[in-house]
Amino acid sequence: MPITPTDQIWMNGKMVAWDDARIHVLTHSLHYGMGVFEGIRAYDTSRGPGIFRLTEHIERLHNSAKILMMEIPYSVDELVQATKATVAASGLPGCYIRPIAYYGYGEMGLNTMPCSVDVAIACWPWGAYLGEDALTTGVRMKISSWTRHDNNTMPPAAKTTGNYVNSSLAKIEAVKAGYDEAVMLNPHGFVSECTGENIFVSRHGKLITPPLADGALEGITQSAVMTIARDQGFDVSLGQLTRSDLYIAEEMFVCGTAAEVSAVNSVDDRTIPCPGGMTKVIAEEYGKAVRGQTDRYKDWVELAS
């Protein structure tokens, strides 16, 4: 998806012009994939741009870094403030936000301990990741031939740049085969998630979403959806799923910051009722929550200024 430039990017404590936010070709993380990042959205609310669950995203960034033994030289609070300043400076009513921490220029080699850590935060306008009609007509999914990382191969709780080689391989394979998105199975054959979304499946009227232990990122949207689903009286839990559960699902949706709540209409050409009744209600409530329109969830929205 093409990027629309904004005026400024926050880099290591300073705002720099979009075109000046450059790095050296020998930047360490470019070579070895040891960067950590977040994807966050700000929405147009009646009180100005509201950033959805900003503090939790920055906490996850810090946790990802902790797993890599990377020391981010800014506290959670400093990065929360920097993110708000970046969004406010853009003048956009809503946007996608990309904070990234990476090992910078100066060292080469796999021991990252001597490397300096650089941090940048950019934002730009971004539409629906899986298409504007992802809720109404749904997305076509394919089970990937690529396996999600084992917990002892690449830690799924860490949102590292390197982890996304696996996701990109699966995404390209799915798109080239004419599908919209891929479902990743873990090395034990259980469903973990999609290339950039968590997955929810309804079986016997109950919603199930795979846990971190099965290779899923602990999604912030996943957690919001579970709260919304329970508040709507739906039965929802973390649980193991096989590919057969997907083929005979009563309804299915995927969710994430970029994809929001997107319905699934088929998996490997087995049709799934779409959009399902629970999917529609959850998508609608999620849409209101992110825009600060639901009192119950108002703490989830942090104003940019």
Ligand X SMILES: Cc1ncc(COP(=O)(O)O)c(C=O)c1O
Q: Which residues are catalytic?
A: 159
Distance CA 89, CA 122 (A): 11
- CA 273 → CA 126, 197, 202, 266, 279, distances in Å? 28, 20, 11, 8, 11
Least distance to ligand X from the beta carbon of 21, Å?
Answer: 22
Closest to ligand X by CB, 257 vs 265, is 257
Closest to ligand X by CB, 39 vs 131, is 39
- Helix, strand, coil in percent for the chain, rounding step 5: 30, 30, 40
Within 8 A by CB and 6+ apart from 6, the residues are 18, 89, 90, 91, 92, 95, 122, 123, 124
Least distance to ligand X from the beta carbon of 182, Å?
Answer: 11
CA 111 remoteness from chain centre: 28
Closest to ligand X by CB, 27 vs 223, is 223
Contacts to ligand X by CB under 6 A: 39, 167, 193, 196-198, 217, 219-222, 256-257
Closest to ligand X by CB, 104 vs 196, is 196
Name the one residue in this structure whose structure tokens are 């033994």.
Answer: 69
Instruction: Judge contact between 10 and 86, C-beta under 8 A.
Output: yes
Least distance to ligand X from the beta carbon of 148, Å?
Answer: 9
* Cα-trace Rg, the chain: 19
Least distance to ligand X from the beta carbon of 198, Å?
Answer: 5
